[in-house]
Amino acid sequence: MSKVDFQNDVLPRNPGPRQEGSGARKTQSPPLSPKESVNRLINEIDSLLPDLDEEGLILLLEQARARRLVLEEARTICRSSSASAQESETELKIGRCDDGSTYYVVAGATWKLFSADEIAALVRIARNEEAADKASQGLFFWLHQERRDVLADLHIPNSASARLPELLELLRSNFPVRSPRRP
């Protein structure tokens, strides 16, 4: 049997990045802009098209169509998630964990956990008979002293933040003052 050299029967492979000799001085070309990079790839694909047979062209076309669908779907997901993130970022929610001793406040994708004692302190401030702006300032002061992480994660930079009246209303609506029980 004779030995067959298959390497010469296949299309030339991409040699990869050029390897310069060890003594050669390496020069780096400036990075291409995204548009220049895309144009370079299009030109390279265009130069390869005459060498492809019909099966290769069909495969290339199918791959391009599949990639376009993936990109369109990704764009749709990004648009819908950014719209829902903007909507949910303005909406605060509060809930109680199954253990009953822990509460959470949700703002978009941010979840902040509070102990029952912490929620009780916030509710006492929220139930205060003072005006809403004074109660909001009280919430800010307490959070600044006890839970600065909440201020950072809920994007509350100061006592005039629009989030504070929202948090105040959330606490007042979820923990209303109850009338004393009559015997």
What pLDDT, on the 0 to 100 scale, is given for residue 24? 53
32: phi > 0 → left, psi -120 to 50 → alpha, else beta; which? Answer: beta
| Residue 130 token pair | 């003072």
| Residue 74 token pair | 């990704």
State which amino acid sits at residue 48.
L
Contact between residue 156 and residue 150 where contact means Cβ atoms under 8 Å apart: yes
- Report the alpha-carbon distance of residue 147 to residue 142 in Å, rounded: 8
What pLDDT, on the 0 to 100 scale, is given for residue 132? 87
Nearest to 126, CA basis, from 173, 171, 177: 171
Contact between residue 139 and residue 126 where contact means Cβ atoms under 8 Å apart: yes
State which amino acid sits at residue 46.
D
Sheet with 102-107, edge to edge strand ranges: 92-96, 102-107, 110-115
Question: Tens-digit pLDDT profile for the chain (183 aa)?
Answer: 444 444 444 444 444 444 555 555 556 677 878 888 889 989 999 999 999 999 999 998 888 888 777 777 767 766 655 554 444 456 899 988 888 888 999 988 888 999 999 999 999 999 886 788 899 999 999 999 999 999 998 889 998 998 999 999 999 999 887 766 666
What pLDDT, on the 0 to 100 scale, is given for residue 6? 40
